[in-house]
Amino acid sequence: MDRVIVVGGGLAGVRAAEALRSKGYEGALALVSAERHAPYDRPPLSKAVLAGAEDDTRIDTDWAALRCDLLLGETATGLRLDDPRGGTLATTAGDLPFDGLVIATGAAPVTLPGDGPQHVLRTVDDALALRSRLTEGTRLVIVGAGWIGAEVATAAAKKGCRVTVAEAADTPLANAIGPEIGALTVPWYAEAGVELRTGVKVAAVDRDGLALAGGGRIDADEVLVGVGVRPNVGWLDGSGLLVERGVVTDASFRACLDGAAPGAAGPGAVRHDVVAVGDVAAWWSGRYGRRLLVEHWDTALNAPEVAAATLLGEDAAYDAAPYFWSEQFGRMVQYAGHHAASERLVRRGDPAGRKWAVAWLTGDRLDAILTVDRPRDLVQARRVIAAGTRVDAEALADPETPVRHAVKP
């Protein structure tokens, strides 16, 4: 392998380039990024950058020492897989031949209909543009009471904005953690002086705020839309790769070809010279027996090590339990695992208090945990989830019992 291209300048792309070099790859290496900025970290955008505590979140990488050419402000426009040993990446900078490709193009925020201005929060330019508008008395309406919506509401309320959060579901975080647990976060909004309106469906963003479905409106000076993202895969149309929401891969992040079955890894089902990683990858998890598309920092940080190993011909697979965190309304909220098929819920501590947790179990196996200001619970639970050890549900429900002591002998 002599020419590897990483397409995507987020954390996953950077870590993939670093992993290739650390594993001994000595050939030509280039990173193509649609953004004009050098690669930077995104989690601080909705926290320190929006709050005004930080402007520069660049990833600390010595690009010269890495011997990686940066093509900033250039976009991938197409992919031609000419033969099993390589292909051509079409970009705004011209055609780039390769014999190894890392797809790490991330995701783009969903926007709403209407001719009114609407902010999103994905890039540093987005964060700086929104920050400049968050002044005392500004009427800010946030569409979506998800992780981003709550974090922006936190920062805006601290700046003296009049914040309203409009959520289509009946509770915050209904899709992420379910309505029962999402409802436990409702008091946080009122505590911060933020108006939360649930069951609100938006028809359009106009020049004075939101027009609501079925009539009615919410007036605003500024509107932030935080209703999710979609993987950047449009440029792969006609490439022959299997794309369903994201780039479908096997457990080693090898890109599957059209017609491949879930979890496929046969020689005719995947491209051994193309891997996908980060927010754009829908990867096969043997742990959960399904395809996962995880749009969180931890996966972007750690999965590229496996993707790089795979591209270099090593036998590697990724099967970590997902993990993420959110800082909102003065609380650290952390989640580990995957609970979509869990059988029951165990509460750990009183949600009316400042520190509590909930756990999802199947039988006596811990599938996932969500903690609020209980970092030790999170750390111990991650180890239990990774090991797949059995737990005693009654002991787990006792907030005074360390999670590790709830493990069955």
Does the structure show a pLDDT above 70 at 316?
yes
Ordered by where they begin, the domains of the chain are 3-108+229-311 (3.50.50.60), 111-225 (3.50.50.60), 330-406 (3.30.390.30)
Mean pLDDT throughout 108-113?
Answer: 97
Q: Please give the C-alpha separations between residue 205 and each of 39, 211, 300, 302, in angstroms, as whole numbers.
A: 31, 6, 32, 38
Distance CA 385, CA 237 (A): 38
Mean pLDDT throughout 177-198?
Answer: 97
Token reading at 27: 């050939």
Which pLDDT score, from 0 to 100, does residue 66 have? 97
Does the structure show a pLDDT above 50 at 267?
no
CA proximity to 96, closest of 30, 191, 171: 30
Which pLDDT score, from 0 to 100, does residue 86 have? 83
How does residue 83 score in pLDDT terms, banded at 50, 70 and 90? confident
How does residue 263 score in pLDDT terms, banded at 50, 70 and 90? low
Q: Tell whether the torsion through CA atoms of 302, 305, 310 and 314 is positive or negative.
A: negative
Does the structure show a pLDDT above 80 at 262?
no
Does the structure show a pLDDT above 80 at 108?
yes
Which pLDDT score, from 0 to 100, does residue 268 have? 56
- Give the list of residues 6+ apart from residue 204 with CB closer than 8 angstroms, or none: 112, 113, 114, 115, 116, 210, 211
Q: Please give the C-alpha separations between residue 9 and each of 41, 88, 406, in angstroms, as whole numbers.
A: 10, 19, 42
Q: Which residue has the higher pLDDT, 37 or 259?
A: 37
Q: In what order do the strands lie in the sheet with 94-98?
A: 76-83, 86-91, 94-98
Give percent of the chain with pLDDT exceeding 70: 98
Q: What is the mean pLDDT of the chain?
A: 95
pTM above 0.75, yes or no: yes
Half-sphere exposure of 149 (CA within 13 A, CB side): 31
pLDDT tens track for 387-409 = 999 999 999 999 999 999 999 99
Token reading at 165: 């959060």
Mean pLDDT throughout 341-355?
Answer: 95
The mean-pLDDT minimum among 64-68, 78-82, 142-146, 373-377 falls in 78-82
How does residue 260 score in pLDDT terms, banded at 50, 70 and 90? low
The mean-pLDDT minimum among 125-134, 157-166, 257-266 falls in 257-266
Give percent of the chain with pLDDT exceeding 90: 93
Report the DSSP beta bridge partners of residue 71.
Answer: 32
